[in-house]
Amino acid sequence: MPAADDDDDHDWDLFFAWREGDNQAAEQLVSRYFKLLTRFFLNKVSSPDAATDLVSETFLACTASRDRVEKLGNFRSYLFAIAMNKLRGYYRREAKRQRELDDFRTVCVADSGVATPSAILAQAQEVQLLVRALRRLTLDQQIVLELYFFEALRGPEIAELLGIPAATVYTLLRRGRARLDVLIGELGDSPALAASTVSGLETWAADIRAKLDSG
């Protein structure tokens, strides 16, 4: 398996080839990150169409800034920072329609008009319950937990991706997981359903990722 640094160097090589007009390099780079960005946006916005639009906006912003970018740090972190800015913009636009956005870092995803789980996921009760609970976390907690469970990233990788201290990541993971367990218990139709969802969290997260990837 190639080392992570080798993968990152390859991403930057593709990026700079794209900057020089290599459309094949552009297609390869978009292909490498399309599903990751789709998963990132899909559970945080009002519809699959909105998620698709944000993915497109992220790549367009990447294109717009490519002539000003020099190789610096992790390419995935660079792309993810653009995606985070696009998500912030989305919430600001939504806030103008719904309410004043006081503090982006504490917005609850459940308040932003996300489509029902059945619109994008299979009918498994545990999967639906997990998605409903995730959407009621603060946005920071949701993002960190999803990167941990859906993308199989560890604490230091998440810290690098988000540009925050590793200690902050571990705090968000700990508090987010504790809050998630509470929410699953509150939202579950029965104690048995809540217990099976909590005990099989990694399995259900993998199921969600597979379904999002195949959608």
Per residue in 62-116, pLDDT (tens digit) is: 877 666 676 667 888 889 989 998 988 888 777 655 544 344 445 555 555 555 4
- The CATH number covering residue 132 comes to 1.10.10
What is the value of pTM for the model shown? Answer: 0.69
**Amino acid letter at 59?**
F
Range of the domain at 97: 1-107
pLDDT tens column, 128-183: 788 888 888 988 899 999 888 888 888 898 998 888 899 999 999 999 999 999 99
Domain co-membership, 120 together with 101: no
Domain co-membership, 37 together with 124: no
User: Is 155 or 121 the better-scoring residue by pLDDT?
Assistant: 155
What is the rounded distance in angstroms from the CA atom of residue 131 to the CA atom of residue 135? 6
Domain co-membership, 171 together with 212: yes
Q: Report the candidate in 124, 189, 145, 166 with the shortest Cα–Cα distance to residue 44.
A: 145
Domain co-membership, 127 together with 207: yes
Residues 6+ apart with CB under 8 A from 150: 39, 205, 208, 209
Residue 4's pLDDT band (cuts 50, 70, 90): low
- The CATH number covering residue 36 comes to 1.10.1740.10
pLDDT of residue 56: 93
Q: Report the candidate in 204, 37, 53 with the shortest Cα–Cα distance to residue 131.
A: 204
Question: What is the domain count for the chain?
Answer: 2
